[in-house]
Amino acid sequence: MRPLATYFSLLLVFLSINLVGCRETDTKIKATEVERQKTAVLALRNTVPKDTSLAGYYFVLDPGHGDDDPGAIRDFKGKDGVVHSVSESALTLDMARRLAWYLRARGASGVYFTLGPDEVVNAEDDRYAYWPPQEPPSILKELIVLLPASRYAYWPLEIALTPRTEVANQKVKTHGKKKVIFISIHVDSTNPSVQGMRVYSYYGVRTILGEHIARNAKKKGVARTKKIGPLEIPFFSTMHAGFIVMNPRLNMAGEKILIETTNIRNDNDFKKLCTADGRESIAHVIGEGIIYYRQAQKK
């Protein structure tokens, strides 16, 4: 009987090992939401050609708000019952970093942030915010907007924004006006019914760059990959406004625009903003519009 008992014991050990192995495998293939978002972003980035399309151009990216100014904030209650907050400043910094990566991949000679004078050398670092799945409430009771759209009417705040234009001016002195492009990135917080991207140029100033980004958003508006499917970034309008960072008297960059990427108060837009692949798609739509602009300049 001993041999039979021995064989039976070995069989139990064999089965237990295999069952544990199955559980471990199941755990490994059951990716977390953070891992899923990273995979989606990597899949999207694999569609970006690494070339020199933007060689000779220097980009100054202006992530809207920051420091003590969070911009618009939207609160929502998660599945765990805890109220979470998403600020415009966190979103714009994240999208600016993603756009910086895109511009670097396409061969930009320099990418700079208005948050500091130094070149963004580590734009490819995985320093982004990968938030867990978020389900915006069906009603907007938890919405908090710290700074309304009329904030630009306050002169003291406008004066505080002028150092951002100095970064562009420094690059113009070094590289020349036509080679410097200034892009201010924001998130809209106006009427919840407004959905999609808005591209602004300064009052009375035509911007060819803005028109190409708008054309790309209207024509395409979708970042497609086989792995994650289409993420539509709808386009709303091309407009003119008096944003201080675009004022030709203060900003000497050859092209300067401000983009309201999406609307934090619109539920559909908010869902895109709350995913890494959504914010990555926004950066790609802007980046591809810049490529179209560059191709038009060569003709």
Question: pLDDT by residue for the chain (299 residues), tens digit each?
Answer: 455 555 545 444 443 334 333 333 444 445 677 778 888 888 888 899 999 999 999 999 998 887 667 888 888 776 778 777 888 888 888 898 899 999 999 999 998 888 644 444 333 333 444 444 444 333 223 322 322 333 333 333 444 566 778 888 889 999 999 999 999 999 999 889 888 899 999 988 889 999 999 888 887 666 665 555 566 777 777 889 888 889 898 899 999 999 999 999 999 899 888 888 889 999 999 999 999 999 988 77
The pTM is what?
0.77
Is CATH 2.40.50.140 correct for 31-298?
A: no
Which residue from 190, 168, 152, 148 is spatially nearest to 60, judged by alpha carbons?
A: 168
* Residue at token pair 């508006």: 221
Give me the sign of the Cα torsion angle 191, 194, 199, 200: negative
Q: What is the DSSP string of 167-219?
A: HHHHHHHHH-GGGEEEEEEEEE-S-TT--SEEEEEETT---HHHHHHHHHHHH
pLDDT computed for residue 275 by the predictor: 84
Between CA 161 and CA 159 the distance in angstroms is: 5
Burial class, 130, CB count within 10 angstroms (exposed 0-12 / middle 13-18 / buried 19+): middle
Indicate the domain borders of the chain: 1-30, 31-298
pLDDT computed for residue 194 by the predictor: 87
